[in-house]
Amino acid sequence: MNGNFDYKRNNTEISKGFSQTMYVYIIYCWRLCFGISSIRAAPYLSLKEHGQLITEGEGILIFEDNAEMEHYYKMTIGDDGPTESNPYDGIYRVYALCCDAEGKFIGENT
């Protein structure tokens, strides 16, 4: 790099670009906390399969179609509280931002 590099991207912009480039549906998850309560707020996560995502507190989940993404999004408890798919009402919340395969933001749970 020549020192003139000042372009900055935040995680939501990166998520948008990734979904558009790869033509996949994504959920960007943030505010994950290590422990059983955060897993209840996003019950599809497991320490065995998603340990790095949980311990780092954020990550991108990738889906091939909108229906699958919607299924997992509806199980994610954000500041809006419990959903039809997940009645968890504890202290932990997981922020979820959805992007379609064209890179458009199509929903968030806060």
Could you read off the pLDDT of 43-98 as tens digits, one per residue? 998 888 888 888 888 888 999 999 999 999 999 999 999 999 999 998 888 999 99
In a domain, 93, yes or no: yes
104, pLDDT greater than 50: yes
The answer to whether the pTM exceeds 0.75 is yes
Instruction: Collect all residues with Cβ–Cβ distance below 8 Å to 13 and sequence separation of at least 6.
Output: none
On whether residue 1 sits in a domain, the answer given is no
Question: Phi and psi at residue 63, in whole multiples of 5°?
Answer: -130, 150
Domain span at residue 82 reads 11-17+24-108
| Residue 3, in any domain of the structure | no
Number of domains composing the chain: 1
- Residue 47 in any domain: the answer is yes
In the DSSP assignment, the letter for residue 14 is H
Rounded to whole angstroms, the Cα distance separating 67 from 18 reads 19
Note whether residue 2 is domain-resident: no
**Residue 5 resides in a domain:** no
Q: Cα torsion at 100, 12, 46, 67 (round to 10°)?
A: -10
Residue 43 lies in a domain: yes
